[in-house]
Homo-oligomer: A and B are copies of this chain.
Amino acid sequence: MSIYHQRLQQFRTFLRERLAAQGFIIPRADVYQNEYVVPADERLNWLTGFTGSAGYAVILPEAAALFIDGRYTLQAKQEVDSALYQVFQIPEFDLKIFFERSFQSGDKICFDPWLMTKNDVERWTKVLENFNAEFVPASENPIDVLWHDRPHRPLDAIFSYSEIYAGLSVHNKLDLIIEKLQQFGADVFVCNAPESICWLFNIRGKDFPFSPLIDCFALIYRSSKSEIFIDTRKLTPEIKAALEPYVTFREYGSFSEHLQNIKDIKVLLDPTRAPFWAMMHLDKTSVIWAPDPCLSIKAIKNSTEISGMRLAHVKDGVAVTKFLAWLEQALANNEVLDELSLVARLETFREEQDQYQGPSFSTIAGVAENGAIVHYRPTPESNKKIQGDCLILLDSGGQYLDGTTDITRVIPVGIPTEEQRDRFTRVLKGHIAIATTPFPKGTTGSQLDVLARRPLWQAGLDYDHGTGHGVGCFLSVHEGPQRIGKSPSTVALIPGMILSNEPGYYLEGQYGIRIENLVLVQPTNEPTYQERPMFCFETLTMAPINTRLIVTEMLTAPERQWLNDYHAQVRETLLPHLDTETAAWLIEATEEI
């Protein structure tokens, strides 16, 4: 019996005997609702084997299912035992069908109230009501009991993030947040968002993979010192001294007790983020539901952060360009290369750069058909050699003290097919449409999304992921509230926001294409725009786009102009930082088309 089979059996026994329930829903989320979780919180992975960054499992007595989104369709098939779990893609698959098949009327379905938000619980309650099933917070999470060799929570020291990079003092940031709390009529904000805490207090940590975040909670009061709940062994005397005027540090484990003891004051909870547990243990009339007040301020980068992001992108562009030049030479020399060696080599180029702290996410180096797995991550088992004609999709990013990067390039090995060049050119046209279209104040990312897809739609093609996500400044590489995507958004794009621009195309079993630059929302200075305040995107990422994959005749004159202008800017920006050999390569790679 496989380990996952054993765990599922134990889980079901626990469900029956200890919770007297018929089902349990296990999200991938941790108590922070973050993309990256510490190893001790990899509950969905422990139970099912699935390593994707989003999804949930539903365990019933006779059936079990894993629900994932389009990014993870192929990956889930590879990772999860289909004898144990049916795997469904949401939203293509209607949840109701699974429940209709598998539910008994009157079932009691449990969840861990620390791992779901009010919005999650309301959504699930509504779905389950259709089947007369109750959705009930569990007194304990079976996985937390059954997982015996569970890793410890991280213990690395936290460090302060200098105002030289942050641009604003803790004092100034707290003023902004307190003003927001006043607007909402709240006395305290229950913050379970490590990126908000790190941003607000100008601190960073090494607890999570890829994002310099800290494993902590905070209570941010309107008229007294904030409280941060953290393993206090991680504090240094410097941090304590620097934050002394603003923060009382308390032990991580005492958070729930302190939360329960909040009485007679108004408490702000973010319905998309706060654990349902908080709502269960607070007086309902004291709760004010409103978005995390840090979110909208953090999303709009200040001028110091913008300068830092620009600098980080120059350094990252140097690293990526050196890598691309090296790769072309290595391929010409018939060196034996595979996905993992590409990842390692790229990392060495980034490590040469000042203030580099590590990758901002697990590098996606997808050779040939592996490139079609949208959130692929090469492992020793999946690691593919570069052989014959193929495309390499390389999506990577760096954390620099001055900013965070995220870039995708496609490299053709040998001769790309006509179809690949057609698809690449369509993706490029979509990328350019996003990069160049000005938009009036008030426009949201969901309004712009179609511009990226239209050249693909014109050939009956599309891609199953968003077009752009927000990016933090030496914080999470994925941050809200802004995004570009199909699903409706009411968040207007505002100058200072940074997003990715990353349309793609994927042919299962064959190849993947994605072109990704980060862009900064800017007011336009076009003098002819007199009627409306207009904004546009400025591209921050600096690295050549492979022109061997472009069908030039498919580009309009302005599109060709954009590419040539972009390449001229890349050349001008990077050349001073490159060795002679790489410089020569870049000049050739960015020749006008």
Chain B residues in 8 Å Cβ range of A528 = 459-460
Complex CA distance for A528 and B439, rounded to whole angstroms: 33
Known: A450-B448, A450-B450. A437 touches B460 (CB 8 A): no
Q: Cβ of A172 < 8 Å from any Cβ of B?
A: no
Query: Chain A 519-544 against B: per-residue CB contact (8 Å), 1 yes, 0 no?
Result: 00000101011111010000000000
Complex CA distance for A531 and B460, rounded to whole angstroms: 6
Complex interface residues of chain A between 431 and 466 (CB less than 8 A to chain B): 437-440, 443-444, 446-451, 454, 457-462
Complex CA distance for A458 and B528, rounded to whole angstroms: 10
Number of copies: 2
Stretch binding the partner chain, chosen from A56-64, A101-109, A486-494 = A486-494
Residue in B446, B458, B460, B461 whose beta carbon sits within 8 Å of that of A447 in the complex: B446
Chain B residues in 8 Å Cβ range of A379 = none
Chain B residues in 8 Å Cβ range of A451 = 450-451, 454
Complex CA distance for A529 and B215, rounded to whole angstroms: 48
Give min CB distance, A398 to chain B, whole Å.
32
Contact A457 B534 (CB under 8 A): yes
Known: A489-B488, A490-B488, A556-B556. A458 touches B437 (CB 8 A): yes
Q: With a 10 A CB-CB cut-off, give which of A446, A450, A526, A528 has the most chain B CB atoms.
A: A450
Complex CA distance for A462 and B437, rounded to whole angstroms: 13
Contact A457 B486 (CB under 8 A): no
Report how many residues on chain A are interfacial, defined by Cβ distance under 8 Å: 32
Contact B490 A460 (CB under 8 A): no
Beyond the given pairs A437-B457, A444-B488, A446-B446, 5 more chain A to chain B contacts, judged by CB atoms under 8 angstroms and listed by A's residue number, are A443-B486, A447-B449, A457-B534, A460-B530, A488-B489
Known: A446-B447, A450-B451. A460 touches B556 (CB 8 A): no
Decide if the interface of chain A is mainly helix, strand, loop or mixed.
loop
Complex CA distance for A440 and B462, rounded to whole angstroms: 8
Give min CB distance, A402 to chain B, whole Å.
33
Chain B residues in 8 Å Cβ range of A457 = 437-440, 534
Kindly report which residue of chain B lies nearest to residue A433, judged by CB atoms.
Answer: B454
Give min CB distance, A46 to chain B, whole Å.
34
Contact B556 A462 (CB under 8 A): no
Contact B450 A531 (CB under 8 A): no
Kindly report which residue of chain B lies nearest to residue A488, judged by CB atoms.
Answer: B488
Chain B residues in 8 Å Cβ range of A490 = 488
Give min CB distance, A486 to chain B, whole Å.
6
Contact B454 A526 (CB under 8 A): no
Give min CB distance, A284 to chain B, whole Å.
15
Complex CA distance for A303 and B167, rounded to whole angstroms: 63
Chain B residues in 8 Å Cβ range of A488 = 444, 446, 488-490
Complex CA distance for A146 and B369, rounded to whole angstroms: 75
Residue in B437, B460, B524 whose beta carbon sits within 8 Å of that of A526 in the complex: B460
Give min CB distance, A429 to chain B, whole Å.
13
Chain B residues in 8 Å Cβ range of A532 = 460-462
19 residue pairs of the A-B complex, CB under 8 angstroms, read A437-B450, A437-B457, A437-B458, A438-B457, A439-B450, A440-B457, A444-B488, A446-B446, A446-B447, A446-B488, A447-B486, A450-B451, A451-B454, A460-B529, A460-B532, A460-B534, A461-B531, A462-B531, A488-B490
Complex CA distance for A526 and B454, rounded to whole angstroms: 16
Q: With a 10 A CB-CB cut-off, give which of A449, A458, A532 has the most chain B CB atoms.
A: A458
Give min CB distance, A488 to chain B, whole Å.
3
Kindly report which residue of chain B lies nearest to residue A450, judged by CB atoms.
Answer: B447
Give min CB distance, A526 to chain B, whole Å.
7
Chain B residues in 8 Å Cβ range of A534 = 457, 460
Give min CB distance, A317 to chain B, whole Å.
28
Known: A447-B449, A488-B446. A459 touches B529 (CB 8 A): yes
Complex CA distance for A556 and B440, rounded to whole angstroms: 24
Chain B residues in 8 Å Cβ range of A454 = 437, 451
Complex CA distance for A460 and B533, rounded to whole angstroms: 8
Complex interface residues of chain A between 468 and 508 (CB less than 8 A to chain B): 486, 488-490
Chain B residues in 8 Å Cβ range of A446 = 446-447, 488
